[in-house]
Amino acid sequence: MKIAVIGTGYVGLVAGACLAESGNDVVCVDSNDEKVRKLRRGKMPFYEPGLEELVRRNRVEGRLEFTSTLPKAVRAASVIFIAVGTPQGEDGSADVNQVLNVARDIARSMNGYKVIVDKSTVPVGTAGRVREVIRRETTHPFSVVSNPEFLKQGAAVEDFMKPDRVVIGAEDPRAEELMREVYSPFTRTGAPIMVMDCSSAELSKYAANAMLATRISFMNEIANVCELVGADIDQVRRAVGSDRRIGPSFLFPGIGYGGSCFPKDVQALIRFAGDKEYDIRILQAVEAVNACQKTRLLSKMRKHFGSLKGKTVAVWGLSFKPRTDDMREAPSIPLIEGLLASGAKVQAYDPEAIPVAKRIFGNRVAFSSGNYEVLKGADGLAIVTEWNEFRRPDFARMRKLMRGPIVFDGRNLYTPEQMKQNGFTYYSIGRA
């Protein structure tokens, strides 16, 4: 099948490469010329495990191309995915202008029946708006499909190749059939293709992200209670998660969620429910709890040191989660800004995100090339992102390098007993 994917961000590039891998001829379009030039040279715009190799292979085998020229890609394709950004607008609602602009450009280049698939996360009703925009511009027949993406950064290729489910909002059988064909290689292991109306498909994506964000904020609140009453969140989490109605996933406390999706999607859902005069109070609380949780580690440091002025703090992990270099809304940002504002010196290490962090902090932070090197002369270590390489460190080596053997662990990578045995003063989340 001939497919065009508009937007080569996390979603578009991964979708494009995976669709090519399953035998389609895919043209990925991005309006950012520089990005397209780099992709043609085999340079990925971000770090995502397995992606570079997948792109390389499919380009060599002639199934994947990159261009900044949309019309030719649209004319050649029967299915066109829109995977551009839907950033948070000033009032918190999702800004769908990129999606609508692309829809208009697609319509102007159409030369026959096309299925236009909205893969970006968009508020309920956007499929209808896309349909309207296209109808104004062309007399060619077309179908609009809503196909939200559920991949996780850090495991994006695997998630796309082996989805838990594929959600398709389609209102005509011709489009539904084509979409089933597109996804059949990815659902052979039995993952369901769920066909529904566009509004339900659009809302499913927001509801899923809001539920995950809710679980995180809920467990963070329980963790904070644990600290006050002398309970251990790890024990509580295991007891709660073994209830089959609840399940063990996404129950880990920490220092708040970040990334490009949860914060913006929770906000957008609050906004579009609000537009219908529905006050979605649970999500307002989820957000407020998350904002507080992001200050938790800094409060623990302030409490321990009294003043942070003149202290040197090492930071392990900058990206909003492991296996990505994405720092959008990362908890590391308010933590580091807070430390700097309190007069502390910050030295930081992350396996992938240092180039991104340099653009945010410039020379206000000293960046190190290794997780031990960054500890030299540190009065304390803050663990922000749970990269695997931080899980089993050489504690004796750490102690020798640090001025003060104090660890503020925002991800509960170690047990309090283990840290005591290794001679550390240890603070974590939800454990006495």
Exactly one of 9, 169, 338, 430 binds ligand NAD (CB under 6 A); which one? 9
Q: Alpha-carbon distance 401 to 376, whole Å?
A: 5
Exactly one of 67, 101, 342, 422 binds ligand NAD (CB under 6 A); which one? 101
Exactly one of 1, 2, 22, 31 binds ligand NAD (CB under 6 A); which one? 31
Q: How many residues bind ligand NAD (CB under 6 A)?
A: 26
Compare residues 24 and 86 and give the one whose CB is closer to ligand NAD: 86
Asked if 12 touches ligand NAD (CB under 6 A), the answer is yes
Q: Which of 18, 198, 261, 292 is catalytic?
A: 261
Q: Alpha-carbon distance 42 to 260, whole Å?
A: 25
Under 8 Å between Cβ of 334 and 295: yes
Q: Mark whether 261 is an active-site residue.
A: yes
Under 8 Å between Cβ of 193 and 180: yes
Q: How far is the CB of 345 from ligand NAD (least distance, A)?
A: 33
Compare residues 250 and 395 and give the one whose CB is closer to ligand NAD: 250
Exactly one of 4, 64, 79, 83 binds ligand NAD (CB under 6 A); which one? 83
Q: How far is the CB of 190 from ligand NAD (least distance, A)?
A: 22
Under 8 Å between Cβ of 380 and 407: yes
Q: Alpha-carbon distance 383 to 64, whole Å?
A: 39
Asked if 80 touches ligand NAD (CB under 6 A), the answer is no
Q: Alpha-carbon distance 291 to 335, whole Å?
A: 11
Q: Alpha-carbon distance 196 to 193, whole Å?
A: 10
Q: Which value, to the nearest 10 degrees, does the dihedral of the CA atoms of residues 184, 185, 190, 196 take?
A: -30
Q: How far is the CB of 264 from ligand NAD (least distance, A)?
A: 7
Helix 296-305 with 332-341: angle, nearest 10 deg: 30
Q: Alpha-carbon distance 269 to 247, whole Å?
A: 25
Over the window 47 to 66, marking each residue x when it contacts ligand NAD by CB under 6 A and - when it does not, the resulting string is --------------------
Q: Alpha-carbon distance 61 to 74, whole Å?
A: 21
Over the window 127 to 156, marking each residue x when it contacts ligand NAD by CB under 6 A and - when it does not, the resulting string is ----------------------x-x-x---
Interface with ligand NAD by CB under 6 A: which range of 98-106, 176-184, 277-285, 329-337? 98-106
The distance between the two most distant Cα atoms of the chain, rounded to a whole number of Å, is 74
Tell me the catalytic residues: 261
Where along the sequence are the contacts to ligand NAD (CB under 6 A)?
Answer: 6-12, 29-32, 35, 83-86, 98, 101-102, 120-121, 149, 151, 153, 260-261
